[in-house]
Structure formats: structure tokens, C-alpha cells
Amino acid sequence: MQVPYRKPGKYMIQKSDPLITGAKLTELEKELTKLKKIRPGAAAEVSRLAEMGDFSENVEYQLAKGRLRGINNAIFKIANQLNQAVVIKPQTQTNEVQIGHIVTIETENGPKTYQILGSAETNPGTGTISHNSPLGSALMDKKVGDVIKIKLTNKEIEYKIIEIK
């Protein structure tokens, strides 16, 4: 299936970050398999409801068609993400911060630990940040002992790298 080209605009879907871990790759593959298994049943339901007559007044048909469209969109999105996926390999060197590393930094509230991954897996609440985030991009290629500065709207914050795993 060929995707139509659309001019960039307000509702344009941004390109997803292709960097994912092996665990996320497995999770996406399982989700795709599950969606492909339920798709034939949803398509059969749409066909069955289409035989009931007038489409404009057939609410069940409209809902079933919407569900099938949602399943198809999810399959397309996940398949596209899997086709572009670049698996993050476990890093053995810990001289410089790279994608996949766990970094401990000294903040004004004490030490904090973050894992730097791709945008698809970020969860700042659990300490997983993107390499594209302000903190993640500032940490990239830095070494233990380096001090990084991040500018916020009204102040500048300094962090010191304590440990890289």
C-alpha cells in the first residue's frame, strides 16, 4: 500500500524515532500479530452488517466499520514502525554517554538516574528519557565528571555526571 504525500501542516504525523530496544521490538511484534488475528473477524462483521440494508441508518455498521478502520490503521502504523526500527544494542563502553546507557547525575535535589533510549520508549516518571529531549541531548557524548547546563525559560540548571552504566 502506497501512502499519499501530504503537505506538512498542523495535523501532519511526525516521523517516529526508529530507535527501540529489543524488548520493545518484541512487544510491537506481538501487538501486530494480535491485531492481524482479530482483523478477519472485524471484516466479517462489517460484511454481515452491510447486508442489513441502508448504510445511513445502520449504526452497528458504522461502528463496526470504525473499529475495522482503527484496526487497519494500527496494523499499518506498527508495521511501518517495525520496518524502520533500529534496535539499540547494549553498550559495553562506558567512557561517554550513548543511547542505551544508564546515567546518574547530581541535581540540586540529590542524585537522579536516567536511561537514555529512543523517543518511542520514553517515560520520565520511571527515569527513561529520550536522546532527543533537552536533558538527553545535553548528556550525549559527555563523560563522568562533566558538567552540563540546560537553559529553562527563567533560569539555567547545571548537572554533573556521576556515573555511566
Q: What is the pLDDT of residues 8-20, one digit of tens each?
A: 555 555 566 788 8
CB proximity list for 7: less than 8 A, separation 6 or greater: none
At 150, is the pLDDT very low, low, confident or very high (cuts 50, 70, 90)?
Answer: confident
pLDDT at 64 (0 to 100): 92
C-alpha cell belonging to residue 1: 500500500
pLDDT at 2 (0 to 100): 62
CATH topology of domain 102-164: Chitinase A; domain 3 (3.10.50)
Query: CB count, 10 Å around CB of 60?
Result: 12
Q: What is the pLDDT of residues 91-143, one digit of tens each?
A: 777 788 888 888 999 888 888 999 898 888 888 888 889 888 888 888 888 88
The CATH classification number of 19-87 equals: 1.10.287.180
Domain ranges, ordered by start, for the chain: 19-87, 102-164
C-alpha R_g of the chain:
22
Q: What is the pLDDT of residues 25-81, one digit of tens each?
A: 999 999 999 999 999 999 999 998 888 777 777 888 889 999 999 999 999 999 988
pLDDT of 3 strictly over 80: no
Asked if domains 19-87 and 102-164 share a fold, the reply is no
pLDDT at 42 (0 to 100): 94
pLDDT at 17 (0 to 100): 75
pLDDT at 72 (0 to 100): 94
pTM: 0.74
Of 163 and 13, the one with more pLDDT: 163
| Alpha-helical segments (H) within the chain | 22-50, 59-84, 134-139
